[in-house]
Amino acid sequence: ASKSDGCNAYRFYEPNMDEHAHKRFVLENSLRKALEGNEFLLHYQPKVDISSGDITAFEALLRWNHPDLGLLSPAEFIPLAEETGLIIPIGEWVIRHVCAQNVVWQKEGLSNLRIAINLSGYQLQQQNFLEFVEESLTDTGLDPECLEFEITETVIMQNPDFTISMLNKLRDLGIHISIDDFGTGYSSLSHLKRFSVNTLKIDKTFVSEVESSATDAAIATAIIAMGSSLNLRVIAEGVETKGQLEFLKEKLCDEMQGYYFSRPMPPEKVTEFMRGKQIR
């Protein structure tokens, strides 16, 4: 029991708390301190143009270097960050950090590198989100063309009118917009034409089965065809094998991302990786 007798005092930790609740308790407390403790970092995974082999962008993927638990992936803490509202300061840290990092890379000679950031729906709902983004660009001096946001179709569909008007404002600044995990949600095509999204990103659950599942192959093919007729770029995520890449090439998918080409890498590897590579 977490209530002590009669006086309504709650104790926050009980030894018999189940393991899940205990882990959550530990995580929530440490998540509150993680920003101050400078415990977040980003890894970067390249996006590649399939026909030319050029690197078109990098996606920033958040990691948490937890003092006791080691390196945690976003699946282990983003849901908690969203429930607690901590996703707002964490998301702001990501935007600031990516803008500043990109400017550093440009000074080192990597010009026109675009970096994509994953956005949580909660961030887009913030009153001052647009202002925050504009400020981050001005303060760092980053060209908006060098910034991309990835938003899932589920987030767009939760509040389509509001989200689409926000996305249009971001597009007006020159920021690229991708629809992430495309095919896994229920975005209505009528919403798609209401804003000038740049890219559809085919979710890796389809990509991983294109060779073994006729259904997944058909879905991937349909997304590529639709993107092409709507004049959108299409990128496939989670490409792990040569066979998957061959499939995408044959279907004229524009870009790919995945372990087959490169795993996400720490920032110090990016400059090395880009040395001698062409950027558009």
Of positions 92, 148, 153, 180, contacts ligand C2E by CB under 6 A: 180
CA geometry: angle at 149 spanning 153 and 179, to 5°? 25
Q: Least separation, in Å, of the C-beta of 152 and ligand C2E?
A: 7
Interface residue with ligand C2E among 17, 41, 69, 74 (CB under 6 A) is: 74
DSSP 59-84: EEEEEEEETTTEEE-GGGTHHHHHHH
- The pattern of x and - marking residues 191 through 230 that bind ligand C2E according to CB under 6 A reads -------------x--------------------------
Q: Which of 259, 271, 279, 280 binds ligand C2E (CB under 6 A)?
A: 259
- CB neighbourhood size of 125 (10 A): 15
Closest separation in Å from C-beta 10 to ligand C2E? 31
Which lies closer to ligand C2E via its Cβ, residue 25 or residue 122?
A: 122
Q: Does 264 bind ligand C2E (CB under 6 A)?
A: yes
Do residues 244 and 38 touch, judged by C-beta distance below 8 A?
Answer: no
Among 1, 7, 9, 75, which residue sits at the site for ligand C2E (rule: CB under 6 A)? 75
The pairing of beta strand 70-72 with beta strand 55-66: antiparallel
Which range touches ligand C2E (CB under 6 A), out of 46-54, 136-144, 167-175, 257-265?
257-265
Beta strands in 139-192 (DSSP E): 147-152, 176-182
Q: Which residues bind Ca ion (CB under 5 A)?
A: 118, 150, 180-181, 203
Asked whether the beta carbons of 149 and 117 are under 8 A apart, the reply is: yes
Cα separation, 162 vs 135, in Å, equals 21
For residues 130 and 166, is the Cβ–Cβ distance under 8 A? yes
- Choose among Ca ion, ligand C2E, none what residue 155 binds, the Cβ cut-off being 5 to 8 Å by kind: none
Residue (22 or 264) nearer to ligand C2E, CB: 264
Collect all residues with Cβ–Cβ distance below 8 Å to 39 and sequence separation of at least 6.
Answer: 33, 64, 65, 66, 67
Closest CB 130 distance from ligand C2E, rounded Å = 17
State the residue for tokens 């490409």.
Answer: 239
The type of residue at 29 is N
Query: Is residue 115 within 8 Å of residue 101, measured between CB atoms?
Result: yes
Question: Would you count residue 86 as binding ligand C2E (CB under 6 A)?
Answer: no
Question: Could you say which of Ca ion, ligand C2E, none residue 7 binds, taking C-beta under 5 to 8 angstroms by partner kind?
Answer: none
Which residues inside 229-248 make contact with ligand C2E, applying CB under 6 A? 237-240
Q: Which of 258, 273, 270 is nearest to 206 (CA)?
A: 258
Options 31, 55, 57, 78; binder of ligand C2E; rule CB under 6 A = 78
For ligand C2E, the binding residues (CB under 6 A) are 45, 61-62, 73-75, 78, 91, 94, 118, 120, 150, 180-181, 204, 237-240, 258-259, 264
